[in-house]
Structure 1
Amino acid sequence: MNILIIGEKVSASELRKKIPEEFNVDHRILVNDSILGKYDLIFDLQFDEKEDNLQYYAPMQDKVIFVGAVRKQLAQIQKDFHGEIQCKLIGMNTLPTFMDRPVLEFSLLEKEDEDILKKLAAKLNWNYCLVEDRVGMVTPRVLFMIINEACFTLQEGTASIADIDKGMKLGTGYPMGPLEWSDKIGIEQVYTTLSRLYEDTADERYKICPLLKSYYLKNKSFY
């Protein structure tokens, strides 16, 4: 099976580790529509930020395209697209650190595509969780809410960055504290996803902490 990964080098390397060595894997930073046809499977890790790439995939009859679909649900992407989508779109949590996990997170545009996902996951030897096609999926939604709350705690002076992270690691068994994890994911990813969640749900849990917004505007990390 020939596989193409589209995305930044760090994210592509994270996904590459999950693909068995027996498969041929190529990497491109940007979409080159002239070569897409030779691949059996395509992963677009930048799709959340570059959904215009759909114009290249849409005419590819029954071609399976895994796309980053955390910030925007697949149904909305389909509605906004001017044309027929003939490929098979499968949403994936492609945010940094989330692909380097025992269980991957996917969503579907069409329920009947679940059989396709099952067969591909078996070939790739992947365990996965199928979640509803919603903004934030599940894991980012929960983690980013915790990161936001950690920012409120920091803003109020209740605890330091190091103490917040230490307390969360000891108390929950998370591999990283929320603020350390935010640095690994990227403050822009956290801020933008929370913004989309608040816009989608109007739920106060996703209303962005002013300190988090300040860090985003300054492109500042916690460490």
Structure 2
Amino acid sequence: MMQLLIHADPARKQALIAKGIPETVQVQWFEAGSTLPEADVFFDLQFEDAGRSVFGSLSTKPVLVSAVIASRDALQDNMIRINAWNGFLERPLVEIGAIPSMIDTAKTLMEQLGWQYQLAPDTPGMISARVIAMIINEAYFGLGDGISSKEEIDTAMKLGTNYPYGPFEWSEKIGLHKIHALLEALSKKNARYSIAPLLQEAAAAKKS
């Protein structure tokens, strides 16, 4: 029986439970500062929040980290990126990324968990988070131009695209600071990701 050790906040813990874990997989929940028990695979879904992994001392066993913004060169070789932002774990498809030597391990793990997966490129935002960040940024540009209110933009986007959330709802669910950090990383290489002034202001206000 495969043993998983998972470090997650309450929201992502619930998302994982709702997603479903097969009976053939034994799950332990880990609290930072606790003694590290034995396991086959480790999940650190608070990696981005803490800025480092509680499983950083491990080098030979696979560690899945919620590293949507950080690219591979910022991670240990045994770490597999997973998009575990709030609102994304609940989706049928999981986005993962790994160095070539870890791809087969990542695929095997997803298959053992019975999860559909998509290998994502080694770039900030992976796939869907990058798209959502662009939509949120554009919504803030529209808000700044006086096109409509937040509520009306959210409603129009949900009805027009069949997305579960509008752009401002997404930003609240994910965390505006994460959207800002992702856009900041992307804008260093491509000016089309330049952050909307109102988004800059809103992110700064939440930080203060």
TM-score greater than 0.5 by the shorter chain: yes
SS of residue in 2 equivalent to 1:128: strand
1:107 aligns with 2:97: yes
Counting matched residue pairs gives: 205
Q: Structure 1's 127 and 207: CA in aligned 2 closer, same or farther, altered over 3 A?
A: same
CA deviation vs aligned residue, 1:2-60 (integer Å, no higher than 9, x gap): 2121132112221232242513222234254x314x11111111222434337x43544
**8 Å Cα contact 2:97/2:103 also seen in 1:** no
Aligned Cα root-mean-square deviation (Å): 2.0
**What is the TM-score of this pair, normalised by structure 2?**
0.89
CA–CA separation in structure 1 for the residues paired with 2:31 and 2:205: 26
**8 Å Cα contact 2:53/2:65 also seen in 1:** no
Q: Structure 1's 123 and 59: CA in aligned 2 closer, same or farther, altered over 3 A?
A: closer
CA–CA separation in structure 2 for the residues paired with 1:21 and 1:76: 31
1:175 aligns with 2:175: no
Equivalence for 2:87: 97
CA–CA separation in structure 2 for the residues paired with 1:180 and 1:29: 29
Equivalence for 1:52: 52
Unaligned residue ranges in structure 2 (runs of 5+): none
Give the one of 189, 193, 198 matched to 2:178.
Answer: 189
**8 Å Cα contact 1:47/1:69 also seen in 2:** yes
**8 Å Cα contact 1:9/1:29 also seen in 2:** no
CA–CA separation in structure 1 for the residues paired with 2:33 and 2:154: 38
Question: Match for 1:214: what amino acid?
Answer: E
**8 Å Cα contact 2:22/2:114 also seen in 1:** no
Equivalence for 1:159: 148
Equivalence for 1:73: 71
**What is the TM-score of this pair, normalised by structure 1?**
0.84
Q: Structure 1's 40 and 216: CA in aligned 2 closer, same or farther, altered over 3 A?
A: same
SS of residue in 2 equivalent to 1:90: strand
Question: Match for 1:17: what amino acid?
Answer: A
Equivalence for 2:111: 122
Question: Match for 1:187: what amino acid?
Answer: L
